Amino acid sequence: MGALAATGLYNGLVNQQQAVDAQWAQVQNVYQRRADLVPNLVATVSGAANFEKTTLAEVTAARASVGRVQIGGNGAPDAAQLAEFEKAQGALSSALSRLLVVSERYPDLKATAGFRDLQAQLEGTENRIAVERGRFNDTARAYNSAIRRVPVVFFAAVLGFKEKAYFAAVPGAEKPPQVQFDFGGKAPANP
C-alpha cells in the first residue's frame, strides 16, 4: 500500500473517531440539559406543595449521583464507563418517573403553569436523549466497522484506534411498563 493511500486511510479513521467523540459530546449535552432542568422541576414541585418529600429527595440524590460519574478523557467512554454512566442516568430517569406519578396524584400541582412547562421540557429532553443516543450508536457503528475492514484492520490497533462502546437497553426494557391509574390503593408488585 502506498504512503498516500495509508495517509488517506489514517485521516479517514481520525475523522470517524472525531465524529464519535463529537456525537458523545452531544449526548452529554442533552443529558446536561436534563440535569439543569431537574433542580427547576424539584423547586417548582416543592414550592407548589409540601408533600412526597421522599420522592423529591430521591430525585435530588439521583441528580447528584449523575454529577459524580466521571468519564475519562475528552472522547467517548469505554464500555465500563458507559455502563456506570447509564446506571446513574437510569436512577435519575426512575426518580423523575416517580415524580411525574406524584404529579398525577395532585391535580393542583399538575395544573400549575410552571410545572406543566417544566414537564413538557423534561419530556422533550428525554426524546432528545433518545435521538442523540441513537445517533451516537450509528456513529460508533460506522467507526467500529471502519477499523475492522481490510486493509485498515492491519494497522488500526497499532495506531491506537480502539472499538467504541454502544448504548444498550437496560435489562427488562423489552417489557412494557405497567400503568396504574388507581392511586387510592397500593401499587401492584412488578412482575
Q: For the segment 69-126, what is each residue's pLDDT rounded down to a tens digit?
A: 777 666 788 888 888 888 888 888 877 777 776 666 665 555 566 667 777 887 888 8
Instruction: Compute the distance between CA of residue 26 and CA of residue 139 in angstroms, rounded to an integer.
Output: 12
Confidence of residue 142 (pLDDT cuts 50, 70, 90): very high
**Topology adopted by domain 3-156:** de novo design (two linked rop proteins) (1.20.1440)
Mean pLDDT of the chain: 78
Is residue 54 a contact partner of residue 99, using CB atoms and an 8 Å limit?
no
Which residue's entry shows cell 418517573?
97
The DSSP secondary structure of 120-137, one letter per residue, reads HHHHHHHHHHHHHHHHHH
Residue 97 confidence (pLDDT): 75
Classified as helix, coil or strand, 71 is coil
